[in-house]
Structure 1
């Protein structure tokens, strides 16, 4: 049976679920994360709930079938059934690893109280963080054990390309694809990731357990 991680790894290589209007239901990779991924004309619901319940609930949503998995009525039903929380539907981007040295000087920090680092530790495992002059780069393992990146640039040094340099650096620090979740309304961030070579591959709605400290040490992917 194909796992959530299998689907993500394939998408990182440019191999996507069939554009057949269908929905694939797979188990969660761990207790912490459930949710929905939307690719072109195909959705993936990752949950430990009964797949039959998922399909019946989707069929009851009054909208285009292609839109049903990301429709607020379905997401609300899934939230109510699981007792989880969510924030927004994000654009999902991925960048392949790059050779060479990072284009900006970085210093790894072991412990930091920066809000971006604190936030990452609530939704990712194996979190690492680096600081640059005017910014912070954070990476950790999130959905399905994939490697995820986020950055923050200080207000006083914005509009100078530092965000693009930081997300480029992320691709040079690792030997596997790097994923990013960006709110569609955050056009500045989207432009930075795309300028750094990250490809938009779909959208996602992450449903988090209320106990945000619950990690994915029992990953099943």
Structure 2
């Protein structure tokens, strides 16, 4: 049986699920993470709920079948059934690792109580963070153990290319594995920075958050 990690590993290699209009339901890779991925004409629902309930609920959504997995009615039903919460539907991007040294000086944060580390630990494991003048870079293992990146740039130093430099540096710190990013589609500034740094959009995701 194909696992969530199998699907993500294939996508990172450029092999998307078949564009057949279907929805695949797979178990969660961890208790923490459940949700929905939408690729081109194919969706993946990762949940420990009964797959038949998922298919029956999708069939009852009054919209085109291709849109049903990300339709608010289905997501609301899934949230209510699982007792989880959600924040937004994000664009999902992936970048291949890069050789060489980061293009800017970085200092690793060793204080485990740093606010950025505390925040990242709510969604990721093995969190590491670095600072540079005006910015913070965070790496950690998220959905199905994939390596994920997030960055923060201070308002006073924006529009100078720091965001692009940080997400480029993340690819050089990835240790030879693909690096994933979740970006709100409305955050055009961040989307442009990731794409300029070589990250490719591969789909959309709705992450369902547990109570913890």
Q: How many residues align?
A: 211
1:113, CA displacement in angstroms? 5.0
Query: What residue is the counterpart of 1:198 in the other structure?
Result: 199
TM-score, normalised via structure 2 length: 0.98
1:118 CA drift (Å): 2.5
**Aligned position for 2:39:** 39
Structure 1 residues 136-145 or 106-115, which shifts more? 106-115
> Are 2:108 and 1:128 equivalent residues in the alignment?
no
What TM-score do you get using the length of structure 1 for normalisation? 0.94
Q: Is 1:106 aligned to 2:106, yes or no?
A: yes
- Stretches of structure 2 lacking an aligned partner (at least 5 in a row): none
- 1:156 maps to 2:171: no
Is 1:184 the counterpart of 2:185? The answer is: yes
What is the aligned partner in structure 2 of residue 4 from structure 1? Answer: 4
Counterpart Cα distance in 1 of 2:24 and 2:152:
34
SS of the residue corresponding to residue 93 of structure 2 reads strand
CA distance in 2, matches of 1:111, 1:75: 37
Contact 1:116 1:151 in 2 (8 A): no
Residue 219 of structure 1 corresponds to which residue in structure 2?
none
Mapping of 1:33-72 within 5 angstroms? Answer: 33-72=33-72
Give the Cα separation in 1 of the matches to 2:136 and 2:22. Answer: 39
- State the distance in 2 between where 1:28 and 1:148 align: 17
Deviation at 1:114, TM superposition (A): 5.0
Query: 1:120–1:140: 8 Å Cα contact kept in structure 2?
Result: yes
Deviation at 1:39, TM superposition (A): 0.3
Q: Deviations over 1:111-157 (max 9, x none)?
A: 25554333211110000000011100000000010000000001111
SS in structure 1 at match of 2:111: coil
- State the match for 2:210 in structure 1: 209
The answer as to 2:76 corresponding to 1:76 is yes
